[in-house]
Amino acid sequence: MADRPPQRRRQARGERRIELLLDAAAEVFSEVGFAAATTNAIAARAGSSPGSLYQFFPNKEEIARALAERYLRQLQEAHRTALTVENAGLPLTELIDAMLDPMIDFNLSNPGFQALFNTPDEVATKPLHIREAVIDRLSTIFAARAPELPEDQRVRAARVLTGAFRGVLPLIITSTGDERASVVRELKRIFHASLAPLVGD
C-alpha cells in the first residue's frame, strides 16, 4: 500500500509525457505531413530522446493511432455540441452557426488533424466513419426541422453540405484574419442557400 503514491506519480508523469509526444506529433504531422514525419523529429519537438519516445510508442504508426483516438474523442464532443437535434428549432442562420462554428474551431485548434486523416495509411480509415456519423446527425436535424422532407432528400443534402464543408475547410485553415472571416461567411451562405428551400428559414 505504501508504494501507491509514488506509483501514481510515475503514472501521471507517463501520461503527461504521452500527451507531450502527441502534441509534438500533431505539430510535425501538420508541418511536413504524415509520410515525411519521423519519430526522431517528433521526439526532438517534444524535447525528448528517441529512446524515451520508444518507451511509449514502438513506431510512428502507433503514435498516429493514439493521436487519431484523441482527435476522435475531441471531435465527438464537438459533434455533440454542433449537431444536436435540440438546435433544429433555431432560426436557420443561428442553426448554421451552431452547426459550423464548433467544427471550424475544432479544426483550427487541431492543425495536425487534416494531415493525419488525409494520409492513405490505414489510420485514415476512421474519417469514413466520422463522415457517415456527421451525415446521419445532419439528416436527423433536418428531419426534426422539416418532418415532411423525404429521407432521400435529407440524406442527399447532408452529403452535399458535408462535402462542401470538407472542400472549403483547407481554405479556412490556411487563411487568416478578414480573409478567413470572409471565407466562413461564404460557406455559411452556401449552407443557407441550400437549406432554406428544404427546411425553411
Q: Concatenated DSSP letters for 42-79?
A: HHHHTT--HHHHHHH-SSHHHHHHHHHHHHHHHHHHHH
The residues spanned by each domain of the chain are: 4-199
Q: What is the pLDDT of residues 47-106, one digit of tens each?
A: 999 999 999 999 988 898 888 888 878 877 887 888 888 888 999 999 999 999 998 998
Q: Using DSSP, how many helices (H) and how many strands (E) does the chain show? A: 9, 0
Percent of the chain scoring above 70 in pLDDT: 88
Note if the pTM is more than 0.85: no
Whether CATH 3.50.50.60 fits 4-199: no
Q: Which residue matches cell numbers 508504494?
A: 3
pLDDT number for residue 1: 47
Q: Give the mean model confidence (pLDDT) for residues 18-34.
A: 91
Dihedral angle computed from the Cα positions of residues 55, 26, 115 and 168, in that order, rounded to the nearest 10 degrees: 160
